[in-house]
Structure formats: structure tokens, C-alpha cells
Amino acid sequence: MKNVTKKVMAAAAALSMLAAGTAFAADDDQYLGKTQDIIRAGTYGSVQGPAQYFTGKARIDNIFPEKGPAKFSGAYVTFEPGARSNWHTHQVGQTLVVTMGVCLTGTWGGDVTRAYPGDVIQCPPGVKHWHGASPDAAMTHVSICQSDDSGSVVNWMEPVTDEQYLKGLSNEGKAQPRS
């Protein structure tokens, strides 16, 4: 009798595992035939940052466009020494990842702050700010922005003055190592 019980239990266990395996396999069918998009480097080319929105030379290399259902896009933005964006806000916010150089960034009524490679700057919606390179070194950051329901990403404003750009910086704003 013990042998029969063991065989029945073993058969039940095997059937359970088979049924579970079939259930997992059936669930996995939802993934069959689905693919990922690979956007090759250089697909979108480089564009100069428009003079109406940037002081100095800035280059924008779009990495990926907004593609539904996600509403965000990304770009590398490279600023030559002394270059910076105009004041602006983002309706849904912005995330910057500094990849090279020293980033200078400021908020309306605030001080200028330095950010270094590997640092992440998260700017909440509606915060008036700017960002750019130090006076003596180029800077690149990855910019990730999300559009609002109307498809808008940024609200551009007036240029940052030299006084605002250098506010609170010692050594005439020269790039300084992380402290």
C-alpha cells in the first residue's frame, strides 16, 4: 500500500509540474514574436543649438524620440566653454546626467551650482533654470524630458546674462575639481 501511495503522490506531483509548466508556457505566448527597437548611433544626426535659445555654441545629438505610449525623449547636449541655455522651464520636468566636463546650472533667484560627470540633476516641473559649460571647459550632458498632454516639452525664456552666469562662482567660474 505504501508503494501505491508513493506512486500516486509521485504521479500527482508530476502532473502538477506538467500543468504548471504548461501554464507558464501558455503565459509566455504573449511574448512570442515581440521585438525591441534598436536605434543606431547617429540615426538622427547633430544640430546646432538655435541662437535664440543658447548663448555660445551648443550641439544637440538626439538619442531617441518620443515614442508612444512613453512620452519622453533623450539627447546628448554638448556646450562649448562659456556656452549656456537661456532661462527655461519644463512642463513635466527634466533629468540631466552629466557625462563630461563641468556643468554649471542655476535657478531663478538661486546660486550657480557645479555638477560633474556621473552627477544627475533633476529639475521639477515649472522651475525656471539654465545649464551650460564652465568658462574654460566644454560640457556634455544627457537630457531626458517628458512632454505634456499637448506635446510640449520646454518653455524658452530670456538669455542668461554674464552676471547671472558667473553669480557665486569663485576663480572667475573656472572648472574646479569635485570637492
Query: Is 56 in the same domain as 114?
Result: yes
Query: Is 15 in the same domain as 99?
Result: no
Strand partners, 104: 114, 132
Query: Is 50 in the same domain as 24?
Result: no
Query: Is 83 in the same domain as 146?
Result: yes
**104-147 pLDDT, tens per residue?**
999 999 889 999 999 999 999 999 999 999 999 999 999 999 99
C-alpha grid cell, residue 93: 520636468
Query: Is 88 in the same domain as 114?
Result: yes
Query: Given pLDDT bands bounded at 50, 70 and 90, which one contains residue 70?
Result: confident
Query: Is 95 in the same domain as 15?
Result: no
Number of domains in the chain: 2
Query: Is 14 in the same domain as 89?
Result: no
Query: Is 7 in the same domain as 84?
Result: no
pLDDT of residue 96: 98
pTM of the model: 0.78
pLDDT over threshold 60, residue 46: yes
Query: Is 20 in the same domain as 102?
Result: no
Q: Mapping DSSP to helix (H, G, I), strand (E, B) and coil, where does residue 70 land?
A: coil
Strand partners, 96: 121, 143
CA gap 76, 79 in Å, rounded:
10
CATH number of the CATH domain containing 126: 2.60.120.10
Is 39 inside any structural domain? no
pLDDT of residue 13: 56
| Mean pLDDT of the 50-76 span | 93
56: nearest Cα among 128, 171, 138, 145:
138
Is 178 inside any structural domain? no
pLDDT over threshold 90, residue 37: no
Which amino acid is located at 107 in the chain?
T
CA gap 151, 95 in Å, rounded:
17
Range of the domain at 9: 2-28
